[in-house]
Structure 1
Amino acid sequence: MRLPKVSLRRSFFLGICAALLLFFGFCIRDRELWRPRARKLHFYQMEKNDDKPLSEQTTEGSALQNQGPNEYEAETQPPSSYVPTSKAWYFRNGERYPEPMPRRAGRKRRLAKLFPQDDAHSDRIINQLMFVPHNYEEIREEGTLKTILLYNGLGPWNVKKGRDVFLNSKCPVDTCTLTANKEKAASADLILYKDHYIPTGIHRPSKQIFMIYFLECPYHTQHIKVPDVFNWTATYRRDSDIVAPYEKWEYYDSKVRQVEQDHNYALNKTKKVAWFVSNCGARNGRLQYAHELQKYIQVDIYGACGSLKCSRNTADKCFDILDHDYKFYLAFENSNCKDYITEKFFVNALNRNVLPIVMGARPEDYESSAPYRSYIHVDEFASPKELAEYLHILDKNEELYNSYFKWKGTGEFINTYFWCRVCAALHDEEALKRPKWYQDVNEWWRGPGVCTNGSWRNFKARKDVISDD
């Protein structure tokens, strides 16, 4: 039988195919092709991990890599089973500092999400704390400092001129200096206003940044009527450019939000609800709500608005009774505004062994800012009566009551190092090349949807803006 002729070209092609099949066969057997290649570990944000805070960034192949998505169900760990590993520098006793931030491969854009336009769904505080520009070593060698002019003076900020605040805080980016000398208004990199805007009367350089800082809510801040002034904002709101919250809670590990407690927080507590308050005319109706709640459960009101007294001179002793006598505390703000959560909640309540009942910011704001399952929001209930009924259930069920304290030990309230973050932001080339502008900062700060005088349950965005009265 005569065999068909095979051309030299076809023979070569068949030989190559056979060799490739053998090669892939051995690779699949040894799993070499599918084994992730180890990369150098960095503490900056990698392309695959863009949605994670920079403090949690790891790379493939690292023993420290966090597996799984950011969205999760809270895991409960046994008592004292969770011990945080190397902590970022902004934690107490934190030692891990960031390295210079790389840019996206093939692009000139940075990886870090530092401003609201980069990530509108988080406060970006951690990203700013962990940001070091890619060329920072060159900046250090040049010795050039960014000048921040505090236009309202040094006093309102309680800082000294010069670099002390950056060096003493051990900022990762510390090449900035503070001044209150208004003669430097034309050359300053940033002019920062605290609570009140005063026009400089000078011609602004194209890349000079103007920033307004507000501590209080829109009801109690200046109505700025001059348009196209500010590039950045610094307030407690999460959509500010430099978010400056009253407190910032951060987990050691975002996947561990609860740990079992070895303490009974209801033990020997015989009283129900307490409230320390001195402003009886808050526009959100908090006093009226408390009086209605009193009809259905014990609410002891201390201060000018109640029948019980506890001197401010002995404030620590006053709040000690929350640890020993009361199960619940009314952490009611004086205004119901977006993201407006103050020390009334963070300090007076969460720092104590008492369960806070909150009124002020929207329910979703507390969910984003507070430890998981650490409070009760009044808007979870249709009325004070319905809230009281649930509080009675908690009062009788110690296991359910104690479930609201499992967040303790999973993280801490961190120093957000405001000045460190401002200095780091001033070294972001991308933000300075094309500075953004607030066409009308009042529309952003006090426009429709920002505040309400009533419950958020029935809230509809107002058509008018918030006045100064």
Structure 2
Amino acid sequence: MIRIWGTKFWITCLIVAFFFFLVTFQVVVELGRFEKQKKKGLQDLQQQKQSHSLQIEIQGNVLHRKFENGLGEYPIMLWWSPLTGEIGRLRQCGDNSCFFTINRTYLQHSMTKAVLFYGTDFNIDSLPLPRKWYHEWALFHEESPKNNYKLFHPPAITLFNHTATFSRHSHLPLTSQYLEGLQILTSLEYFVAVEKKNILRKKLAPVVYVQSDCDPPSDRDTYIQELMKYIAVDSYGECLHNRDLPTEVNNPSFMDSAQFYHILAQYKFILAFENAVCEDYITEKLWRPLKLGSVPIYYGAPNVEDWLPSNKSAILASGFSHPKELAQYIKMLDKNDSLYVEFLQWKQNGRISNTHLITAIKERKWGVQDVTQDNYIDAFECMVCTRVWNNIRLTKKGLKEKQWKAEMTHLTCPAPKSFSFLPGRASKSSMRDMWKPSFEQSKKEAQALRLLINRNKNFTTQEFWNLVFKH
């Protein structure tokens, strides 16, 4: 009996062991397959990366061979900030041709004549130093000063030879960059008559605000928050939000859609407050209500009147000592149709009386959303290309080259400041704790940048910041 039990025990053990062996073998096989698949996947991914890198390298080599075998007579314009993203392109600018590229290996090429920078991406971590005597630096910067404050101080902006900025004083002014043309200002496509607006007032506030970039250097939200105490404001954006847009347009990508425009056009007044206060810094915030047939309540560029279609087309918030005073004025216009319509007569009559605006739009060398014209980046490229070629021709004639240099007026903004109606302090911590200190520090950054570039050799970020905080 014991012998039989022992035999059964060993048979059971053998069966369990065999079963365990089969399971283990299957696991090993599956793991092997998984590892092979994983290895194959990694190999495929690596091959794809190598193939992509090889493709870019081949494209670069082809362009390089083409350039060396026939294009070498053309000046090279090197985009140090890869704004265009092009590996290489021979571009015709009138009677001139230049080779534009983001390939930094061309920095050492003898035909590289200009290095182009995009202001927002201008980074002290990587600069084309040492700067050769024949390398001209060109700056394209159309955006807000908050994106790169140090460029807005004389030591930094004067590092450049050529400029395209929102300032009318730059070599290629971009002040009207958000305005497609004069015709769109006088268009009545979205215009809503005052009689209909009065009916809509039963469900809409007299004023609308749409902004999702909250607490910028202009401190606009502080002003509008105070304004809301004295007059109703429908705020659709993230800042001071109190009303929702329809679901189908509740997305930043629909901010320029016809449906969104029709919603805004129903309002009598649109708050148009810039994110920074600089001369000539004028964005779509002003042009949008003018295009739609609403009255903009504007705060931003101190010289905005130079750009308005008529002398009575916008309400300037800076003309009122307190938001309460502005609210009272808006209420008065809201109740008096004849006074309100005075701000829209220029549009209804299709007559723009501002000769400065008319001349600026007609004479600019680029277009906005116009396939028949170059865009402003193309115009910037061609401006630099043409100037380089002009100097090449002067040199061939034995004449002195023309020296181009940016002036401090080409990009400048005052320090951010609090509104005068505030009781001796900024109510927003962002203004007090961030923007004012940031602006003051940017002065030191501009000085440090100038000193290091004047040494004309590469420097580290640690050297830069040590110099910034030393001053």
Q: TM-score, normalised by structure 1?
A: 0.55
Letter aligned with residue 286 of structure 1: R
Q: Equivalent residue for 2:233?
A: 299
C-alpha deviations, 1:170-224, integer Å up to 9, x for none?
x656633321122322422321111214421244243x42112223222221636
Alpha-carbon distance, 1:382 to partner:
2.0
Query: Paired residue for 1:437?
Result: 405
Question: Taking every aligned residue pair, what percent have the same amino acid on both sides?
Answer: 24
- The answer on 1:280 being equivalent to 2:218 is no
Letter of the 2:417 partner, please give it.
Answer: N
- Match in the other structure for 1:147: 76
The residue that corresponds to 1:398 in the other structure is: 337
Structure 2 match to 1:321: 263
1:325-366 C-alpha deviation (Å, 9 max, x unpaired): x1001111122222222222224x23322111111221x2x1
Which residue of 1 is the match for residue 167 of structure 2? Answer: 237
Is 1:151–1:191's contact at 8 Å kept on the other side of the alignment? yes
Q: Amino acid of the residue matched to residue 100 of structure 2?
A: L
**How big is each residue's C-alpha offset from its partner over 1:10-46, in whole Å with a ceiling of 9 and x where there is no partner?**
xxxxxxxxxxxxxxxxxxxxxxxxxxxxxxxxxxxxx
In 1, distance between residues paired with 2:322 and 2:95? 50
Retained in 1: the 8 A contact 2:223–2:419?
A: no
- Displacement, 1:264? 6.2
| Residue of structure 2 equivalent to 1:199 | 127
Aligned to 2:12: none
Map 1:154-173 → 2, pairs under 5 A: 156-157=83-84, 161-163=88-90, 172=94
* CA positional deviation for 1:423: 1.3
Residue of structure 2 equivalent to 1:190: 114
Q: Which amino acid aligns with 1:234?
A: A
Cα 1:204–1:262 shift into 2, 3 Å: closer
* Aligned residue number for residue 119 of structure 1: none
Q: Quick one: structure 1 residues 228 and 404, their matched pair in 2 at CA, closer, same or farther if it must change by over 3 Å?
A: closer
1:33-52 alignment runs, 5 A limit: none
Q: How many residues align?
A: 305
1:384 Cα shift?
1.5
CA gap of 1:223–1:172, structure 2 versus 1, over 3 A, is: same
Distance 2:336 2:90 in 1: 54
Q: Against the structure 1 CA distance between its residues 393 and 158, is the aligned structure 2 distance closer, same or farther, given a 3 Å change threshold?
A: farther
Shift of 1:300: 1.3
Hey, what does 1:335 align to over in structure 2? 276
* Residue among 320, 323, 333 paired with 1:384: 323
The CA distance in 1 between the partners of 2:264 and 2:88, in whole Å, is 41
* Kept in 2: contact 1:190–1:210 (CA 8 A): yes
How much does 1:321 deviate? 1.5
Q: 1:161 to 1:343 in 2, by over 3 A?
A: farther
Preserved CA contact (<8 Å) 1:338 1:451:
no
- One-letter amino acid matched to 1:320: H
Is residue 275–residue 302 contact of structure 1 (8 Å, CA) maintained in 2? yes
- Cα distance in structure 2, aligned partners of 1:330 and 1:402: 18
Displacement of 1:376: 1.5
Is 2:191–2:293's contact at 8 Å kept on the other side of the alignment?
A: no
Distance across 1 between alignment mates of 2:345 and 2:86: 38
CA distance in 2, matches of 1:163, 1:404: 49
Distance in 2 (CA, whole Å) between partners of 1:385 and 1:267 is: 26
Contact 2:298 2:315 (8 Å CA) reproduced: yes
Secondary structure, counterpart of 1:427 in structure 2: helix
Residue of structure 2 equivalent to 1:120: none
Give the deviation of 1:258 after TM superposition: 8.5
State the shift of 1:275 in Å: 0.4
Whether the aligned pair in 2 keeps the contact of 1:193 and 1:212 (CA below 8 Å) is yes
Instruction: Quickly say closer, same or farther: Cα 1:426–1:433, change in 2 above 3 A.
Output: farther
Task: Structure 2 unaligned segments of length 5 or more: list them.
Answer: 1-70, 353-357, 362-366, 369-373, 395-399, 423-435, 446-471
The equivalent of 1:36 in structure 2 is none
1:146 CA displacement: 4.4
The match for 1:420 among 360, 373, 379 is 379
Contact 2:96-2:385 within 8 A present in 1 as well: no
Q: Secondary structure at the match of 1:433?
A: coil
- C-alpha distance 276-147 of structure 1, shift in aligned 2 (>3 A): same
Change beyond 3 A, Cα 1:424–1:297: same
Give 1:180's aligned residue: 102
- Partner of residue 20, structure 1: none
Counterpart residue number, 2:243: 308
| 1:308 aligned partner, one-letter code | R
Q: Distance in 2 between matches of 1:226 and 1:148?
A: 21
SS in 2 for 1:386: helix
TM-score, L = length of structure 2:
0.54
Q: CA deviation at 1:274?
A: 0.4
Match in the other structure for 1:10: none
Q: Give, in whole Å, the separation in 1 of the partners of 2:207 and 2:157.
A: 47
Bigger Rg, structure 1 or 2: 2
Contact 1:276 1:301 in 2 (8 A): yes
Question: Larger % of helix: which?
Answer: 2
Question: Does 2:346 align with 1:370?
Answer: no
- How large is the RMSD of aligned CA atoms in angstroms? 4.1
Residue deviations 1:244-267, cap 9 Å, x none? 233247658xxxx98999976323
SS at structure 2 position matched to 1:404 = coil
Give yes or no for contact 1:258–1:410 (8 Å, CA) kept in 2.
yes
SS at match of 2:282: coil
Distance 1:259 1:302, change over 3 A: closer
1:232 CA displacement: 1.8
Task: Say whether the 8 Å CA contact 2:210–2:236 is kept in structure 1.
Answer: yes
In the TM superposition, 1:236-255 aligns within 5 A as: 236-245=166-175, 246-248=177-179
Q: Distance in 2 between matches of 1:237 and 1:421?
A: 14
